[in-house]
Structure formats: structure tokens, C-alpha cells
Chains A and B, each alone.
Chain A
Amino acid sequence: MTQNQCLTNLTSVDKTFSSGTKALDALDLKVFRGEFLSLVGPSGCGKSTILRLIAGLMKPTAGTIDNYVLPGKGQVGYVFQDPTLMPWATVLDNVSLPLQLMGQSCGDQDERAAAAIRWIGLSGFETAFPRQLSGGMCMRVSIARALVTNPSLLLLDEPFASLDEFTRSKLNEDLLALWEEHQWTVVFVTHSIREAVFLSDRVTLLSPRPGTLLSTFRIPFPHPRRGDLRDDYEFTDLCRKISSTLTSAMGQP
């Protein structure tokens, strides 16, 4: 795996909102091409803000962001904490929305949307409306929509936080299998250390507000990873190590 090419580079980035809240303080973060990077930290440490900055949805107050992907050209996929689907549109229309907004030709749209739906395992539900689907299925639609443009960079903002344990584990495994196959670059925000360790090549810990980088852990487990990795002693041990690092950082006043 080539991990030396930097895709996105945040250099001493500050973000202060108009309300005066300082979300990020002198943050340095590199995202390498093809890696699965997780950002872990307590609520309100600016994890979502980092994703929004990378996606170009907001501008930093200070510092620079060097992006080698172009938001607006479908090179960045974004999955929100909620499925964020259009309730009036079918699964197919929801998934093909990015292509429609970017002005792709119609036949091509349906084909690519159908392919994305197939990847995520929802074939047969193309004409269903979101309200007919379960929470986990809606999240799958949301992921398919982010994948439909075949993005170089995939940003996931706590996508599985509101799902039950079983659905969450299953979606983790499916997402990992897709990533192992396609090798997009992924930045994944989560509260769950176990989820982060299971999915990632690197796990970066962030401090409470204002968010700064605490430390980064390299996750050594080889791919393809299976669900039973979670039961391994080494896995549990690494999770515990990361957890105690985070706890001691949180303990500081």
C-alpha cells in the first residue's frame, strides 16, 4: 500500500465560530492517499468541523488547507451522522442526486447509481422511499450516495452512531470490505475506539475543545480483516491502550 502521497494537508488550522466558540486550535493533520484514518475524541472537540473544512463547506479562521481533491467535482463524498435523505425521492433518485447536480447524462446516472446500490447491498430497493426502510438501510443509501461519484476522498461523520450494535458491526464489516476492494481515502469520525481500531490504518486522538491533535496510533492488523478480529487479545489490548491515553488527556483540567 502506498501511503506516502499526501491527499489533504491541514497546517496550524484555527477555527473560531461567529458565536466566539473556538473549535480548533493550531491543528496539523495529514491525510495520505489510500489510507483509512479515524478521528476519535469527545463530543464537541471539532471532529465534524475538520470534515467540513476538508470538504470546503467552511473556511478556516487561520492556517492553510492544501487539498489535492476538488470538492464540487464529485471527488469528495460526505456521509452525515443522520442519513440525510430526501424523503420525497426514491432510493435510486437519492443515490443519483450527486450525478444529477453535477449534470451527468441520464442513462449513465441510473447505471452508476444502480452500481453503488449494489455495492452497498440494497439491490431490489431502488424504487422504495426512505420511510419504507430501516435506519440501517437508510444509512446504506446515504453511503451509496457518497460513493456514486467514485470519490477520491470519503468523509464519514459518525455515520453509525445512531444504529444498534448488530447493525453497526455489520455495516462496519461491509464498509471495510468495500474499502479493501476500492481503496478510497477515508476520513472517519467516531466516538467509538473499537470501531476506529477495527476499521482504520491510523487512529488520531483529538483533545476536548478547542480541538488539537493528541496522538496518532498506527493499527497493525493486516487486511482483509474479519469480524472476529474484535475478539483477538491484541485488538482488545490496543483498544485499551488508546482508551487510557484518551482518558488521561480528558482528565487534565
Chain B
Amino acid sequence: MSPFLFGSALLVLWELAVSVNGVPEYILPGPRAILTALWNDGSDLWAGLLVTLQITLAALVMAACTGAGIAMLLAQTRLIEKTLFPYAVFLQVTPIVTIAPFVIIWVENIYVVLLILASMAAVFPVISNTLTGLKSADSNLRELFQLYGANSWQLLTRLLVPTGLPYFLAGLRISGGLALIGTVVAEMVAGTSGTRSGLASRLLEASYRLELPRAFAAFFLLSLAGFSIYMILQWISHLLLRNWHESERQHEG
């Protein structure tokens, strides 16, 4: 309850500050103006949000699959990890804005461009966390698997994947936010237009026209979307781990 009260108090203060000082809407709109914009342009913004969310989710799925796949490859031997991991780091530290121009030239479909850029932004935490997870299997359990003649498929599916799952999910929670940020940045750089344009493009467009209430409404929708993605991933993680993992342990007392 307290975060809600805190937020409400902040909104009231904001509204008061704006109306008392007579700040014009094109500099800083108050919450009421933003709500009005949200109400009036609701269907338009909603359509934009759906486009952005679709790309974000597709990018997250892609990041999860390729990230987990790359981590499994890196976990095979120390040599592969040492050889390839630095390139994964490069991928992480390169701002996707700098790669965008090339991808735009090479790929025609703008939504595929957005998908590539957003998944590149989101993939690293999955790789890094899953790799740590795959490598942290109990050495005695490994020996036990060896003792009973387990093949490498059994070792992977029955020991390494379950051990790595909590790490993978922790990585995925970070990647969820990054996928949204990646999509937004890619939309702003690559640009989408018309009825199939995403929310970030509409935000940018509204700010160019000094329609700040509308831009703010788009901004809040995006933040809310990011927050929801995090909470949903948290919930999925809880469902998968609640029976056994320490991170999901209820604090009884």
C-alpha cells in the first residue's frame, strides 16, 4: 500500500507545483493534463504500445534462446569459454545505437531491424548468468552421475540445466528490462511510422510537436510496461523455483 500512497502524494505535489507556478503544458504538463491526453489518445497510444511490446517480447524470447544456447556452448570446455567470452563482452559494452546504422542498411524489414537490435541489447545477462549457473553444479553430484554411467545428455538435462535454471531466470529478469530499452532506443534511431509505429516513435513525434502531455502519457505507458515485464518474469521465476530454491524461501518466524 505504501508505494501507492507515496506515488499519489508525489502526483498531487506535482500538480500543485505546476498549477501554482503556472508552468505551460509544452514545458511541463501536470498529471491531470497527462491523464487527459491518455484518455483522448488512448487507442492510438495503445496501438503503439502493442507494437513495442510485441517486439520487446520477441526480442526477449530470442535473447533467452540464443543466450542459453551460447552459454551451453561456452560451458563445454574452458578453451571455448576463454576464446569466445571476450566477444560476448564486446557485444555487451557496444551501444546498440552505434550498430543500428549498419543493421538498417543490411536488413530491409524495419521490424526485423528492431528485433535484432533489441535482442542484442538483451542477450548478455542471459549468457553471463546461465554460464555461471551451468558451471556451478555440485562436483560430488557430477561424480555421482559419473558413477552410474550417465551420458552427457543426462548430465545436461538432469544436472546442469536444473542447477543453471535459477541463474538463467535471474539473468532473464535483467534482460526483460534491457529488451524494452533496446526496443525503445532502436525505434528512436531506426524510426517507425504510420499505424504500425511503436510507442517510442510516437513519444518522439509528440515531443517534436511539443505535445508534451501526450509524450508524457507515452512515457508512463512505457515505464508501466517495463515494470510489468519485470513482475511477470519474477512471477514465472517464483512458480518454477518455489519448491526448492533458497531465493524463493519464505521467511518464517
Chain A interface (Cβ within 8 Å of chain B)?
52, 55-57, 71-74, 76, 78, 80, 82, 84, 86-89, 97-98, 100-102, 129-131, 149
Say whether B141 contacts A55, CB under 8 Å.
no
Complex alpha-carbon distance, A71 and B145, angstroms: 11
Complex alpha-carbon distance, A86 and B149, angstroms: 17
Complex alpha-carbon distance, A213 and B61, angstroms: 59
Say whether A57 contacts B146, CB under 8 Å.
yes
Known: A87-B245, A131-B244. A76 touches B140 (CB 8 A): no
Known: A86-B141, A129-B244. 6 other contacts (CB 8 A): A56-B147, A73-B149, A74-B148, A84-B138, A87-B244, A130-B244
Complex alpha-carbon distance, A73 and B165, angstroms: 30
Say whether A71 contacts B147, CB under 8 Å.
yes
Complex alpha-carbon distance, A57 and B141, angstroms: 12
Contacts of B138 in A (CB 8 A): 84
Contacts of B42 in A (CB 8 A): none
Known: A84-B141, A84-B144. A102 touches B149 (CB 8 A): yes
B243 contacts A by Cβ under 8 Å? yes
Interface size, chain B (Cβ < 8 Å): 21
Say whether A76 contacts B147, CB under 8 Å.
yes
B143 contacts A by Cβ under 8 Å? yes
Complex alpha-carbon distance, A72 and B150, angstroms: 8
Say whether B143 contacts A57, CB under 8 Å.
yes
How would you classify the secondary structure of chain B's contact residues: helix, strand, loop or mixed?
helix
Complex alpha-carbon distance, A120 and B243, angstroms: 24
- Which residue of A74, A76, A88, A102 has the most chain B CB atoms within 10 A of its CB atom? A88
Say whether A101 contacts B150, CB under 8 Å.
yes
Mark out the residues of chain B between 176 and 220 whose CB falls within 8 Å of any chain A CB in the assembled complex. none
Say whether B148 contacts A72, CB under 8 Å.
yes
Contacts of A52 in B (CB 8 A): 143
B154 contacts A by Cβ under 8 Å? yes
Known: A129-B243, A131-B249. A84 touches B150 (CB 8 A): no
Chain A: which residue is nearest B151 at the CB level? A101
- Which residue of A101, A130, A131 has the most chain B CB atoms within 10 A of its CB atom? A101
Say whether B162 contacts A57, CB under 8 Å.
no
Say whether A88 contacts B150, CB under 8 Å.
no
Contacts of A97 in B (CB 8 A): 144, 148, 158
Say whether B143 contacts A101, CB under 8 Å.
no
Contacts of B146 in A (CB 8 A): 57
Complex alpha-carbon distance, A105 and B165, angstroms: 27
Say whether B147 contacts A78, CB under 8 Å.
yes
Complex alpha-carbon distance, A86 and B138, angstroms: 9
Known: A87-B244, A88-B244, A131-B249. A72 touches B162 (CB 8 A): no
- Contact indicator per residue, chain B 228-253, by CB within 8 Å of chain A (1) or not (0): 00000000000000011110010000
Contacts of A86 in B (CB 8 A): 141, 158-159, 162
Complex alpha-carbon distance, A136 and B146, angstroms: 25
Contacts of A130 in B (CB 8 A): 244
Kindly provide the distance from the CB of A31 to the nearest chain B CB, expressed in whole angstroms: 17
Known: A76-B147, A88-B243, A101-B148. A82 touches B154 (CB 8 A): no
Say whether A88 contacts B140, CB under 8 Å.
no
Contacts of A87 in B (CB 8 A): 244-245
Say whether A78 contacts B144, CB under 8 Å.
yes
Kindly provide the distance from the CB of B214 to the nearest chain A CB, expressed in whole angstroms: 48
Kindly provide the distance from the CB of A36 to the nearest chain B CB, expressed in whole angstroms: 21
Contacts of B141 in A (CB 8 A): 84, 86
Contacts of A55 in B (CB 8 A): 147
Kindly provide the distance from the CB of B252 to the nearest chain A CB, expressed in whole angstroms: 12
Kindly provide the distance from the CB of A166 to the nearest chain B CB, expressed in whole angstroms: 25
Say whether B149 contacts A101, CB under 8 Å.
yes
Chain B: which residue is nearest A55 at the CB level? B147
Known: A129-B243, A129-B244, A131-B249. A84 touches B149 (CB 8 A): no
Contacts of A82 in B (CB 8 A): 140
Complex alpha-carbon distance, A86 and B141, angstroms: 8
24 CB < 8 A contacts A-B:
A52-B143, A55-B147, A57-B146, A57-B147, A72-B147, A82-B140, A84-B138, A84-B140, A84-B141, A86-B159, A86-B162, A87-B245, A88-B165, A88-B244, A89-B244, A97-B144, A97-B158, A101-B149, A101-B154, A102-B149, A129-B243, A130-B244, A131-B244, A131-B246
Contacts of B244 in A (CB 8 A): 87-89, 129-131
Kindly provide the distance from the CB of A159 to the nearest chain B CB, expressed in whole angstroms: 12
Chain A: which residue is nearest B141 at the CB level? A84
Complex alpha-carbon distance, A151 and B245, angstroms: 31
